Amino acid sequence: MTENDDLWHEVPGTAYVSLARRGMERLSLDQCFLKNCDNEDINLLEPFKKEEFEDEKKSTKLIYIKCHKCTGTFILKLETLKAVAKPTDSTDQSTDQILSMGLIFALDEKGNNIGHIGFF
Ligand SMILES: [Zn+2]
């Protein structure tokens, strides 16, 4: 096993996409998110770099992935929102639900957002 194979462990296997009133759909992340590319073969995808940083509100992980079908590079951006501090004067129990949530975005090589993929 190489160091790069290890990076796959950083990627959630599945994301959940909200379909408005039709609930959630599972989406595999083992695919190329670049335009005009339909690569869904994990063997043609090579994660090669990881960046992590965090601030007081969220932790962010960037996984750089090279696609050997379209020869492009895209970035999976995984954002985990941290527990929201509960306002002391709040009696609204529903705020407890915003504890930890993961958001997945796809970025192109230059860091431009090419879409909100879903949740993990
Ligand atoms: Zn591709």
Give the total number of structural domains in the chain. 1
CA angle 100, 106, 107 (to 5 degrees): 120
- This prediction has a pTM of 0.79
28 Cα–ligand 1 center, Å:
15
20 Cα–ligand 1 center, Å:
28
Q: Which residue has the tokens 């970025």?
A: 107
DSSP, res 45: E
Report residue 95's pLDDT band, with 50, 70 and 90 as the boundaries.
very low
87 Cα–ligand 1 center, Å:
45
Q: Is 94's pLDDT higher than 90? A: no
Q: Is 4's pLDDT higher than 80? A: no
Residue range of the domain that includes 42: 3-119
- Closest among 87, 82, 111, 112 to 98, alpha carbons compared: 82
pLDDT in tens, 37-89: 999 999 999 999 999 999 988 999 999 999 999 999 999 999 998 875 555 55
